[in-house]
Each structure stands twice: as structure tokens, then as C-alpha cells.
């Protein structure tokens, strides 16, 4: 059986999620859908209990541990339900029935996490940037010592902000790393729990990675539903129920790609170059305005608006002609958003900058 070949017109993909994946990963994933591991069977139709897929699961977990530099004592899970399910699973597993959870509210997804936690138990918001429409990251806030955990969101895809320095605290730290995981150097051992939807820097939608320090589990005093219990999924080795096989496989391929090319140090340097290139143009160009505090600008999701919103139709026309896709801002905020995930090449950022310069030359 011969491999298929993906051949598409070059599109510069700035989609906020599901986001861009490496071309070689897409090719390998496509091939596996036809003939996986030379079994003459599709990855989509083999048993998740087969040795072939168990090897995929084991390698995926090992790559996560290696790239996050996790020490002994952490368990890695691949689950379904997206980060949105983790909004409920985290407090179910960590918030004691007589305890308190703390949250930092930096955007829509943090707000949704807070909403779920309040259903589970006592929850307080220790800091928030809602007062300025989530255009900055709160700093210098006091963290109560009696919290069962403190929950933060590392990167805010809708508003374009990113935590540059994580809180230093003795309180167990929980982090939603969905939109910037594996994009920059992070010491995973600083966190008691990390979770991330795969569909930004790791794989397609459908899989969620969880890394949890096992010694914090089983202390809530709460009777748990099996599907919401991390300990059940750990015991089942992420196979308590049928796992999202294809997204996990593509995540493994993407993490292989990252490791092969130089790991986090390699991609962090490229991501910084991409972000600097685009932010410098936004600040220089008379037609555009950045929407977030400069010190909190996200390297993953660059948000901006036009000085003259009435020219959006003209700008959209230019981006379409240049094969730039996925630039419209989130429906809740409007404007524009360029997502610079790991697999987006600098070439695509340069193409966007050229369009912005052409736009200024024509309409300034």
C-alpha cells in the first residue's frame, strides 16, 4: 500500500484553534489512517488495547514528561472532554469539602473555570483583570495561605495576554496551559496540576493532556464519580474508557517533531522572533492598534484593531488575496487575532506584515 501525499495551496493559517499542525505530522497522520504500523489496518479501526496503540500511549506520556521536565511522582493522562471538562475535574479532585479554592480571572476561559468551581465548593477570586476588559495580567496580589489550590490560566487566547512570570507560592498551583503549552520553557514541577486541550500546539481537538502530582489526590472527602476521578484514570492508564485514539496519536507525532528539532529551547526562540516581528509592525504601523498591555502581550495570540474600523472590509480583502486565514478576532471582542502557534512558520508572519504595510501605504 503506497502512502498518500498531501498537496495543498499554501495557506498562512493563523487560526486560534483548532490550530496549525506541522506538515509532516499531517502527512504521517494521514498515512496512519490508511495503514498504521504496517498492519494493513487503519489507526481508526484497531483496538485501543492492542500493543500497537499501547506503545503510542506510552510514548505520548513519556514525551510530555520529558518536555515538561517532570520529576517522579507525576502522572500523565490523556482524556476527552477538552479543557472545559477540566474546569470541573480540577475542583472535584482537589477542593476539599470544607476547603477553599482560589482563582485568578484573566479572561473568558478563566471565568468559565471559576463558574464550575463554585458549583463544586467554596471558591474565591483572588485577582482579576475584568475591570479593564482583561487587557492585562494582574500582579502583586495576595495569595491566601489556606487555599487548597490556586488556579491560573497561562495564556488567554481571546484577549491576547500571557502570564510571563508564574506566582511563587506554597499553595498547590493549578494551570490551564491549553494555548501555550510546549511553546516556551516551563518547569512543570512548579505545578501540582497542569491541563491542556491538544488543539493549539499539540494535536487536533478531542484529546486533553493532564499532568498531576499524585500526592495531592484523594484528600477532598468527596465521593467521586468514576469518570471525574483522576485516580480512576491513573489506575486505568488513560484507558478507563476508550481514549481519543487519533488525537493522542497526532499529539505524539507533534511532540516527536518538537523533540527532533531541538525541543522547547528551539521553538521558544522561534516563537519569540515571530511575536517580536508582528508586534513591532503593529506598534510602527499607523493603521493598527494593539489591544493589550505591552508587558503582558501573548506570544501565541496577537490581538489588534484598526485605527479606522470602517476599513476592515478593505483589510480583509487584502488578507484573503494573500492567502492569510483565521485572522478575525473572537466573536466576543471583534478586531483581529493572529495565532502564532508552534507550527506556524516565520514566513507566514512576514506575509502578514507585508499585507499590513501594503494596507498602510494604500489607506494612510
Active-site residue numbers?
A: 109, 176, 200
Is residue 301 within 8 Å of 157, Cβ to Cβ?
yes
- Residues 23 and 355: their CA atoms lie apart, in Å, by 24
Nearest to 193 by CA among 215, 211, 220, 214: 211
Look up residue 31 and give its three cell numbers.
498515512
- Residues 71 and 42: their CA atoms lie apart, in Å, by 35
Nearest to 98 by CA among 217, 212, 222: 222
Is residue 211 within 8 Å of 75, Cβ to Cβ?
yes
Look up residue 322 and give its three cell numbers.
494573500
Nearest to 150 by CA among 168, 162, 138: 168
Is residue 297 within 8 Å of 277, Cβ to Cβ?
no
SS3 268: helix
Amino acid at each position: 500500500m503506497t502512502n498518500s501525499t498531501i498537496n495543498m495551496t499554501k495557506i498562512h493559517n493563523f487560526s486560534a484553534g483548532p490550530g496549525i499542525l506541522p506538515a509532516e505530522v499531517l502527512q504521517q497522520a494521514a498515512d496512519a489512517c490508511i495503514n498504521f504500523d504496517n498492519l494493513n489496518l487503519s489507526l481508526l479501526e484497531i483496538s485501543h488495547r492492542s500493543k500497537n496503540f499501547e506503545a503510542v500511549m506510552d510514548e505520548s506520556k513519556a514525551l510530555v514528561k520529558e518536555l515538561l521536565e517532570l520529576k517522579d511522582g507525576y502522572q500523565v493522562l490523556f482524556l476527552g472532554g477538552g479543557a472545559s471538562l477540566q474546569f470541573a475535574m480540577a475542583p472535584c479532585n482537589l477542593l476539599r469539602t470544607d476547603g477553599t479554592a482560589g482563582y485568578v480571572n484573566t479572561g473568558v476561559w478563566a471565568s468559565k473555570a471559576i463558574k464550575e468551581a463554585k458549583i463544586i465548593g467554596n471558591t474565591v477570586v483572588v485577582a482579576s483583570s475584568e475591570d479593564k476588559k482583561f487587557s492585562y495580567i494582574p500582579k502583586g496580589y495576595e495569595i491566601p495561605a489556606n487555599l487548597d489550590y490556586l488556579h491560573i490560566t497561562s495564556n488567554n487566547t481571546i484577549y491576547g495576554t500571557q502570564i510571563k512570570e508564574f506566582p511563587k507560592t506554597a499553595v498547590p498551583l493549578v494551570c490551564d496551559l491549553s494555548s501555550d503549552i510546549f511553546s516556551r520553557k516551563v518547569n512543570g514541577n512548579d505545578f501540582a496540576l497542569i491541563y491542556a486541550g491538544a488543539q493549539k500546539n499539540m494535536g487536533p481537538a478531542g484529546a486533553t493532556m493532564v499532568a498531576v502530582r499524585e500526592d495531592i489526590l484523594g484528600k477532598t472527602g468527596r465521593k467521586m464519580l468514576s469518570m471525574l476521578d483522576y485516580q480512576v484514570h491513573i489506575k486505568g492508564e488513560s484507558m478507563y474508557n476508550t481514549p481519543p485514539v487519533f488525537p493522542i496519536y497526532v499529539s505524539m507525532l507533534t511532540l516527536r517533531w518538537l523533540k527532533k528539532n531541538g525541543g522547547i529551547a528551539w521553538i521558544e526562540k522561534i516563537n519569540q522572533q515571530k511575536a517580536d516581528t508582528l508586534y513591532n509592525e503593529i506598534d510602527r504601523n499607523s493603521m493598527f492598534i494593539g489591544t493589550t498591555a505591552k508587558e503582558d502581550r501573548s506570544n501565541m495570540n496577537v490581538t489588534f484593531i484598526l485605527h479606522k474600523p470602517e476599513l476592515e472590509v478593505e483589510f480583509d480583502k487584502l488578507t484573503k488575496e494573500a492567502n492569510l486565514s483565521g485572522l478575525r478576532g473572537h466573536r466576543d471582542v471583534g478586531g483581529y487575532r493572529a495565532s502564532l502557534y508552534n507550527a506556524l512558520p516565520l514566513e507566514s508572519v512576514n506575509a502578514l506584515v507585508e499585507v499590513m504595510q501594503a494596507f498602510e501605504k494604500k489607506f494612510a
